[in-house]
Amino acid sequence: MAVATGNAPLAGEGNQVERDDMDDLDRDAFFKLLTTQLSYQDPLDPMDNTEFVSQMAQFSSLEQMENMNSTMEQFLKTQSLAETAGLIGKTVETIDSESGQEFLGEVNRVERDEDGNIYLHLITDEAGETEKYPLDSITSIYS
C-alpha cells in the first residue's frame, strides 16, 4: 500500500498531497490522502478492514486532541485575564521598557489584545492619567 508523504507522487500517477506545514494535517487533507490511498490500492489485495478502521480511529483521536488543545488554550487565556483582574485597585511597580525608569501606579484596568498579551492600565499621577504596561513588566505588587 502506497502512502503519500510531502510532495511525492502516489503510485506514479502524479497525484500529490501538498502540505506547507508538517503540523497542519487537517480533516480535508486526511480524507484526500485516504481516498487517494483507496483508489490506488490493488483490487486483488485490498486494504484490510482492521487497518482502515484503525486509521479512522487514529484520526478521530487526533481531531479530539486538537479540539481539546484549542479549548485549553482559550481557557488559559481567560484564566490569566481573570487572575490579572485581581490586581485592579492594587499599587504595582513597573519598569518602562523604553526608558528603564521605575514607576508606581494603581491598576485601574486590565486588557488583553488580539495577540493574547495582557496589559495593565496604571494611574501614574495625581491628575488620574493612565499609562499602559505589559503584565510581564511588573516587578512588585503592593496591597
Q: What is the pLDDT of residues 30-51, one digit of tens each?
A: 778 878 888 888 888 777 778 7
Whole-number percent of the chain with pLDDT over 90: 29
Q: Is residue 105 over pLDDT 70?
A: yes
Q: Would residue 123 count as lying in a domain? A: yes
89 vs 139: CA distance, rounded Å: 16
Structural domain boundaries enclosing 101: 86-142
SS3 of 44, please? coil
C-beta of residue 124 within 8 angstroms of C-beta of residue 108: no
CATH number at residue 132: 2.30.30.140
Per-residue pLDDT band at 17 (split at 50, 70, 90): low
- Total domains in the chain come to 1
Q: Would residue 75 count as lying in a domain? A: no
C-beta of residue 67 within 8 angstroms of C-beta of residue 26: no
If you count them, how many residues does the chain have? 143
SS3 of 13, please? coil
